[in-house]
């Protein structure tokens, strides 16, 4: 739940601040007010540059979609709704397609698809094509069938994006959902061009934030296990309090497992162990140290529970079944793996590297004593 809500927290904050700011945009000094129409274009260029730098083709298309309102600023309400639906529908689609890079045949095909929809809306607006039956009233109401269909697509786009975000907690889907909500506000609740520019700028700023957070994720998060990686661990060790503990976790007989079942099945085991660490290591913070090794860092106020928590981690890894393909039987089987753990408590004035080494030595002792156990490192002699 916390991960899901955190993915939506910043996008919601940016939206709320931009709505509030748009209400008081008239208070800006004349110079800033005159420069405001250029702000969306400047932010769009920044977002496109970052999308190119981080090879994010979906963000490129989203930025272009957000700029579509510039095309229908003076259109009729019906045409305005059509362009709005195109933007929201394509953003919703992008939340379901995988990332394929910035500018290649995948990005080109997607941009051509968006261009086709925009061209279709433009042709209808100019009366180059028409469907008379869509202009009939819907069930004796004031709305036409075309308006009802457009709103149905709009509602489905927002609902599908919302559900996709709810079940995945992905930052891209969270940003896409807020993007759709923002487009609705821009189209139907903003009464001036200045308010329009403020909200559009905020949406582009949101995608710049997403790209920066995505770059942070790529640098600090292990892509396979979804745990923070070695670089994040190094930064964590720099800012530790005086009292802390470090635990090392190593999957038993992992090389033998890889030789028997293959590296793909070995990756499934590592993901399984990472899931156990996420579930049982709290309030400690788990990291992927490298290979089949993991690290858990405990801060001062949780030290009394460390050994009990590590025993829960050990038991959780042992109890968790992993489905793997047996190359001899040519069928899926369920197996369980075990892990050895070593923990070291920091002594007064001891460096984090020294504590980490003692935890690794304690892990070696667990291996030496038969594996699948937790060993505690004694304090250095000078600290006893």
Q: Report the distance separating Cα 295 and Cα 93, nearest Å.
A: 38
| Two structure tokens written together for 4 | 């899901």
CATH 3.40.50.300 assigned to domain 230-383? The reply is: no
Active site residue 292: yes
pLDDT reported for residue 383 = 54
316-320 long-range contacts, Cβ below 8 Å, gap at least 24?
316/276, 316/279, 316/280, 317/251, 317/272, 317/273, 317/276, 318/372, 320/272, 320/275, 320/276
Which pLDDT score is estimated for 135? 67
Give the position of tokens 């272009």.
Answer: 64
% of residues, the chain, pLDDT over 70: 92
**Could you report the per-residue pLDDT of 232-248, keeping only the tens digit for each?**
999 899 888 888 999 99
Average pLDDT, the chain: 86
pLDDT tens track for 298-343: 987 777 889 899 999 999 999 998 888 877 777 888 888 999 999 9
- Can you name the residues that pair with 120 across neighbouring β-strands? none
Give yes or no for a cis peptide into 283 (omega within 30° of 0): yes
> Where does the pLDDT of residue 194 fall: very low under 50, low under 70, confident under 90, or very high at 90 and above?
confident
pLDDT greater at residue 381 or residue 185: 185
**Average pLDDT for 353-373:** 93
> How confident is the model over 38-65, as pLDDT tens digits?
999 999 999 999 999 989 999 999 998 8
pLDDT tens digits, residue range 212-231?
988 888 888 888 888 999 99
Find the catalytic residue in 292, 293, 311, 350: 292
CATH 3.30.70.270 domain position(s) in the chain? 230-383
**pLDDT tens per residue, range 272-309:** 999 999 989 888 999 999 889 999 999 877 778 898 99
Q: What is the pLDDT of residue 250?
A: 94
| Residues 8, 161 contacting (CB under 8 angstroms) | no
Predicted confidence at residue 300, as pLDDT, reads 78
Runs of H (alpha helix) within the chain: 2-23, 30-35, 39-53, 57-66, 77-94, 105-125, 145-168, 171-188, 193-220, 230-238, 254-261, 263-280, 306-319, 352-368
Helix (H) or strand (E) holding 284: none
**How large a percentage of the chain has pLDDT more than 90?**
39
pLDDT at 51: 93
102-135 tens-digit pLDDT: 888 888 888 898 888 888 777 777 777 666 656 6
pLDDT above 60 for 78: no
CA 281, CA 248: separation in Å to the nearest integer?
12
Give one DSSP letter per residue of 253-280, joined into a string: THHHHHHHH-HHHHHHHHHHHHHHHHHH
């Amino acid at each position: 739940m916390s991960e899901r809500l955190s993915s939506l927290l910043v996008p919601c904050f940016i939206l709320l601040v931009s709505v509030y700011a748009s209400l008081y945009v008239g208070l800006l000094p004349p110079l800033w007010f005159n420069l405001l129409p250029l702000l969306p274009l400047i932010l769009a260029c920044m977002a496109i540059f970052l999308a190119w730098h981080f090879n994010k083709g979906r963000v490129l298309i989203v930025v272009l979609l957000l700029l579509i309102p510039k095309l229908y600023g003076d259109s009729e309400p019906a045409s305005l709704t059509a362009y709005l639906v195109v933007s929201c529908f394509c953003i919703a689609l992008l939340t379901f397609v995988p990332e394929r890079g910035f500018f290649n045949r995948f990005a080109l095909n997607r941009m051509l698809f968006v261009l086709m929809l925009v061209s279709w809306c433009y042709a209808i607006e100019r009366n180059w094509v028409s469907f008379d039956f869509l202009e009939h009233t819907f069930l004796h109401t004031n709305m036409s069938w075309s308006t009802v269909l457009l709103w149905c697509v709009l509602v489905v786009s927002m609902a599908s994006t919302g559900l996709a975000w709810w079940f995945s907690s992905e930052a891209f889907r969270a940003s896409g959902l807020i993007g759709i909500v923002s487009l609705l506000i821009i189209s139907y609740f903003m009464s001036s061009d200045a308010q329009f520019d403020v909200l559009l700028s905020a949406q582009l700023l949101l995608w710049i934030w997403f790209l920066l957070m995505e770059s942070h994720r790529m640098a600090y998060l292990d892509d396979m296990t979804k745990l923070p990686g070695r670089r994040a661990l190094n930064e964590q060790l720099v800012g530790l309090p005086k009292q802390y503990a470090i635990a090392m976790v190593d999957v038993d007989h992992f090389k033998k497992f890889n030789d028997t079942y293959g590296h793909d099945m070995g990756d499934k085991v590592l993901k399984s162990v990472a899931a156990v660490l996420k579930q049982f290591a709290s309030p400690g913070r788990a990291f992927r140290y490298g290979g089949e090794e993991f690290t858990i860092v405990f801060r001062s106020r949780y030290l009394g529970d460390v050994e009990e928590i590590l025993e829960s981690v050990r038991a959780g890894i042992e109890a968790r079944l992993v489905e793997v393909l047996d190359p001899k039987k040519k069928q899926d089987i369920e197996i369980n793996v075990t892990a050895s753990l070593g923990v070291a408590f920091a002594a007064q004035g001891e460096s984090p590297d020294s504590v980490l080494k003692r935890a690794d030595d304690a892990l070696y002792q667990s291996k030496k004593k038969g594996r699948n156990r937790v060993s505690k490192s004694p304090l250095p002699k000078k600290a006893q």
